Amino acid sequence: MAQKKLALVTGANGHLGNNLVRLLIEKDITVRASVRNIKNKEPFAGLNCEVVQADITDKQSLISALQGVEVFYAVGAAFKLWAKDPKKEIYDINLEGTKNTIEAAVAAGVKRIVYVSSIAATDFSKLPIKESNGYNPDRRDMYFNSKNDGEQLAFELAKKHNIELVAVLPSAMIGSKAFAPLSVSYNIIDLILKKQIPVETRITLNWIDVKDVAEGCYLAATKGKNGERYILANEKCMSIKDTTKIAQELFPELKIKLPIAVPKAGLFVAAWFMELAGKLQGKAPLITRKDIAMFSGLQQDFEISKARKELGFNPKNSKQVVKEAMYYLQDNKERFY
């Protein structure tokens, strides 16, 4: 389907949202960018797009932002793995946001929705992980639950209201332009460069260039099949340890040490202390016991032939992505302190 008319991107000041706005502008698509806080103008400096206020928890604001829109990129969501009240601050916001997103699109007469889900909404128990494996049976994390239940709700409502919807499932997005505060994934690269990951957690990540995900979103809008889901990831994951080795190679002057291996019991004790400190300070701990239980040793290798074949998705390899992300953060570090 040709995409010439107006497109809306929610969460347009976030890492993916902002890079998607830039990509669409490059493709001569008229873009309306929606943000919760209209005062934050920095991510849109020099960009030829309309910026409006909208919040996924306020359906009327979405209906207003969607007037005249043909393709709706539903990027906006609560993306965090920790909160004081995770059900209220993560799960409830994302589920209500999904319901509002679809219903507002229907009310505004939108033709097609590209719904940004996450690899969190895949079943990690069978490798390589693919779309047809179904949804994640692990219910220990409220963010993961919100992406699993949110994506299924999106498809259910789209079918009920007869609106076209394609879901994309990105992995850990890094690289390219970013604004403070850094996203959860990009922040891990930053922590490695700041030498703030001292112990080996055996956690792996599937690094993907945010620009490749933005391109994947556009491809989903133009080539994606209605009612289908597409994983936007790399085939192979990378451990934090191997990611740290790349930092050592690129920046020997930083004298970054590899994380030290400790028994799993020791990781749980360290995580308990970090959680306690997090509660006292009211901020996210570096790692939690749940993170260790869910992610230590978990492999994140994906089968992406569906996105390659049906969309023409062709991501940059993860080692190159990590290198470029590290160079970007080092070159712009004063902006993120």
Return the domain boundaries, the chain: 7-180+207-236+301-316
CATH architecture classification, 7-180+207-236+301-316: 3-Layer(aba) Sandwich (3.40)
- pLDDT of 156 reads 98
Find out whether 166 and 116 touch, Cβ atoms under 8 Å: no
What the block records as the tokens of 101 is 């997103």
The reported pLDDT for the residue numbered 3 is: 46
What pTM value is reported for the model?
A: 0.96
* 3-class DSSP assignment, residue 73: strand
Q: What is the pLDDT of residue 295?
A: 95
Q: What is the pLDDT of residue 195?
A: 95
| Parts of the chain with a pLDDT under 70 | 1-4, 337
Answer whether 205's CB lies under 8 Å from 171's CB: yes
pLDDT tens digit sequence for 255-292: 999 999 999 999 999 999 999 998 888 888 989 999 99
pLDDT at 180 (0 to 100): 86
The pLDDT value recorded for residue 1 is 44
Indicate the pairing of strand 31-35 with strand 50-53: parallel
